[in-house]
Structure 1
Amino acid sequence: MKCPTIPTTEQERLKALSSYGLGNDRPLPSLDPVVQIAIQMFGMPVAAINMISSDHVFFAASAGFDGKNVDMRRDVSFCAHAINQHDVMVIPDTTLDERFHDNPLVTGPTNLRFYAGVPLLSPEGHALGALCIIDSKPHHNFSPADCSRLSELAQMASDRLELRRLEISTEQARRPFEEFARNSPTAVIWFDEQGGIVAWNDAAASLYGYELSEGTGRPVQTLVSEYDRPLVADLIARAAAAGTMDGLAMPKGLKGKRKDSSEFLLGLSLFCWREHGRLIFNAHVQDLTERRRKEEELHQLANTDILTGLANRANLYRRTEEVLLRPAPAAVLMIDLDGFKDINDTLGHSVGDSILCEVANRLQQAMGPADTVARIGGDEFAVLLPDVDHPEQAAELAHALIARLADPIVIDGHEVRIAASCGVAVAPLHAQEALGLIGDADLALFKAKKLGRGQVFVFVTALRMDAVARRLYNIELHRAVSAGEFVLFYQPQINLADGSLAGAEALIRWQHPERGLLSPAAFLPALEGGPLAAVVGSWVLDEACAQAALWRRYGAGDFRMGINLFGAQFRVNNIVDDVAAALARHGLPPQAIELEITENIVLDYDDVVLDALQGLRALGVGIAFDDFGTGYASLSLLKQYPLSRIKIDRSFVQNLHESERDTSVVRAILDISRSFGLETIAEGIEKDIQRKLLRDFGCEEGQGYLFGRPISAMEFAEVFGIHIPRQGTVCR
């Protein structure tokens, strides 16, 4: 019998193993599903996760036998051999292997005839033990694909072991209050289950207007208003009964009460744990008065265009809905400035902004108090005219507005003449709800612009032929799904502080058999609005998770994959279950992916999306809000939705180094992000000066052509040094 070789780093390996808190009498239940999956996947009677100690082997998890009457000495252990390899160790027939034919596990009652095992590694690369499958019958058909699947299960086991290590290290690192919070700027209060304060720090005492010495023994309920005390008492009682805060919702709108009896809006985060048999509560408190004021300002901003002070798109939709729900007739005029880009290019964005403000003033002055003037975005405006039900009347008003906008505008000594085009739609003639009416006006505007400068066009049903064309496009999309014509490209996301790779965003492309590689602009609108969105979305999720798992396995240890979601994925099946299944299938920890949503998804499915996102965040998955700053409800969404990151839209980054306004907007977004505890990533970084400014402003990450265009998985791995072995080299 050949004894296993002792690794040269044995002491370091044993030290790493001890950090997981495992032993003969301390298995890890979270590993049980891994061995159960192994048995079902390979049809083997026994699977185990064996940890290799200094002189013996012990089970962290096992299935198929209880370990009694099994020789657990390290000298006879097959897994002790497996940890010395970098790949899967396969013994098709132990009786024919010179290393093991006379091993007691082979010749004795265990009757071990087949073995396949793969080492489990710590983050530092130390082999802790092995995941193995065994049988009392030989198997000569264990394939490279089987080896790959066993390795994937081993990665899942390693991830769960790492979670165990982090849990233990967190418990061991918990410090006493004086060390934990005495000098913290955060107001921290520790109290017992009877509500008596055990300790508080200077920040807490100062917040409430007390001396530090006045805290110990004080009832914690005296720190909230009389009205809120029953709520707080009930919360503490329920937490004490359960021994945890898990599943308990914090009361909203609590008021704190200072020593001088003045009150303030109280922010309260509450945690509890047992220490020496005693339940201790840890409260983080803050004065939210200023934050509430800022939130009210954000609410105002969410309904108002920052540049012009007009209503924004969201406001226009809401007011249109209000009018049509009365019900009452109304007309919508969509107005777009012709050639405005040329003005920006020749006279600069400052002059362009001034022109937009003057256009807003002229439109407002021409309208009555019941009318709504809105800036939709860029150089596009809209006017809602309640009680206008005749297309001719609406068109006449549109011509009058265009004539008024054609008058010369003098800005900084420049006399500028602008032309505008206008699309008109009327309710109930053309549509009976806000989305349809505004959409019809937008289609009419597109037609007006095609006719030339300064034109007005009233909606006709023939304009909906574009929608028919999109439906025809769906036929090709069905074929694309069936034939597997969609592929994913990956754009790097970079840590702006040190230039390291933080992750990538997975971006869909269509490898069309006749037209070549198509960008999302060519097919995404039709795909999102069609019946295949959920199917393609599920494929994107699974493919991106598989790619992330592969890259993390071969060097990109902290790699994070950004995955865009379709709105339909919230409507079909259960997105929380789908994501959890994808993570388990590919052995990924939740933090390895970040799901990206747009404002349209949130607005279209509102409550459904909110519930789903809360479930996803509970899994530990990141949620990023894409194209931040371009929509009309972005700011208000930050209060309600469980986001972890916002993506600053490229439109603000493009002229960041030239535009004071863009600089102010980006700074404001970053300030808002910090106040909400959100991370940030800026899109569309193309110049080094943009990268430097964003880094200096405190933006954590960035993506854009400066760092790399979207590329295939193979190119991405080559560019960023992710070395993936060729197929067929997994087993020996």
Structure 2
Amino acid sequence: MSVDPAGLFSQFCRASRAASNLEDLVVKCPPALESEAERLQALSDYGLHGDRPLPSLDSVVQIAAKVFGMPVAAVNLVGDDHVFFAASTGFEGQRVDMRRDVSFCAHAIAKNEVMVVPDATRDARFYDNPLVTGFSGVRFYAGVPLYSPGGLPLGALCVLDSVPHFDFSDDDRARLSDLAQMACDRLELRRLEHSTERAKRPFDDGARASPTAVVWFDESLRVMAWNKAAAAIFGYMPADGPGRMVLSFLADDHRDAVAQLVANAAVAGTADGLVVPEGLEGLRKDGSEFPLGVALFCWIDQGKLTFHAHLQDLSDRHAQSAELRRLATTDLLTALVNRATLYRRMEEAVTEAAGAALLIIDIDGFKEVNDTLGPAVGDAVLREAARRLVESASSLSTVARTGGDEFAVLIPAAPSHAESMAVARRIVDSLADPITVNGQDIHITVCCGLATAPQDAHEALELFSNADLALFKAKSFGRSQVYAYVADLRMEAAARRLYSIELHRAVSEGEFVLFYQPQVKLSDGSLRGAEALIRWQHPQRGLLSPAAFLPALETGPLAAMVGFWVLDEACAQAALWRRNGATPFRMGVNLFGAQFRANDMVREVAATLQRHGLPPDALELEITENIVLDEDDLVLGVLQKLRDMGVSIAFDDFGTGYASLSLLKKYPLSRLKIDRSFVQNAPDSERDRAVVRAILDMARGFGLETVAEGIETEAQRDYLKSVACEEGQGYLFSRPVSACEFSEAFGLQSAPSVARLA
């Protein structure tokens, strides 16, 4: 009789609802998936159950608990009516209700995203769930589905806490998804291993029902008979077998082991309990060897012991297994090892006394290459980058592609810090040479983060995480940078996470304020406008500059909200100053990339200008190269509409990036802001003067205005005047100050904050 797992599960839920006498349990019971039967079949391929966890997942749940500061983390696999732990931490000594109808993870597998429950007591699905009301006391849950290679959800990686959390950010969701991918990689290895275990039993029911090669022989190992299938395996005719010695069909190295096996069976009178040696090699008539599967049986026939062996040519199976392992361990595009293989080798390397060094390499601005030249060219660039990495690394190193445009190099027997840095620099330099694709030279640069074990880490995931933090730091300095991990990076990451939590309070309590730095006409010193700059009036740490919190803010979920508040506050202040003598007056506002993805950017700007009675030319929106490259097509369309409206568009930090020249042709800019790094030494450095002159010439050629940032001395101002730079800002004129101080300095009327950010 066939069984429908999905139907059984539906019956189970109905029974649970009846037993609990809760009318609303219908919406709480996790849904049976349409693919439930296929999902359960896929789950069985892993050979896991409640009494057979997967130790390789222990480090994943431990790092998940550590990264998110949660007391409990688990990999739950969802069966037909129960869930079970493949790995867990924090449940020790607890009795946990593992029924599927109360499982959070059974809900999570129905979603193709991270499922977050900030407070289970406030969630209609879970407020009276036994895991919430009972001993476990679950209040917070975040879980992400784990998928089979065929895309079927097997279970979920989750973190839990007995207190609610409303600060689980998009960045946290991404980290949990990354850890889920690690878990999937290790589950896939388990599936392959289980497949291999099953393959060791060559004669299951399916094999017995198919044409099988069989040889009959006596205890002297002489062939009595064989069938056509057996003869074909060895390349003989059926008549060639009888009378030959069985051992003649085996490779020399395996004959003694088989002879001993048959002798033991003859003594025992049975083959039961005897194990056929693994890795047997058959010998064909033409002298070629091949992997041979053997199942041995014997019985007494007319007082004589008779053997028969079921044989199987395993060549195809071995080839398929090898191909499966290759697919599971190799990146198909570059032929480098993949992330799962890298982790295994890292785990081996960190246990060695000699340690290891790990380099993580990321291509700068690769999205622009892909978007501009097409994915085929992008793939060619990645393949060439992989080739150069292998060429630059030592023969003992493992070079891997870990995803997208990111690579890693694992150096065993870690060299000294100086030698590791030299390898990193050699890799960065090797990728700076042009890559030729279809006759076209393509220039790329890379950044590299470096960490070593045991100095920086004692566990593979920690080593990878530390190298990744070093890469993040390297990229903050610009292109072609190398940075080695130091303990302060972990503290900075913790600070970013802390700030990410506190930013929610800052928004609700209105702790953000705006400061303004004047922009003046260099020819006569007259006020032309101001740049609005955000500050955080922290209740414990005092007034914080953007450097302390902007990285956490601009990559978090509050970026768009705060960005539009800055726009509204700055426009309100500009309108007041224009009504009180500052006419004309232009307000510069920096944009976050998130603002282009949230709401309708053009409509928001238009509504803000109308609300405060400002003409479009009174507003200048500042963008950076990172915003442009991250959201290229979307940003271009929005900026063109804003420029058509009459709003000015300024390109900030011009000259520090590598895509700046192409952006001048493509984007509807009105002004270039010359970066302070070129202004500071311009009076004394011919190179910096040459850069400034080149930027001014380009600006004039494109019909753009210019403003120089970071002017601190009269010599800098005088030089910029001499080369006809129109405007400037910097400490020579004023530091960023509050609206009140700005008004007093320039004889304007200030206004209280026009809106509380909430």
TM-score > 0.5 by shorter chain: no
**Based on CA coordinates, which of the two structures has the bigger radius of gyration?**
2
TM-score (normalizing by structure 2): 0.40
Return the structure number with greater relative CO, CA threshold 8 A, min gap 6: 1
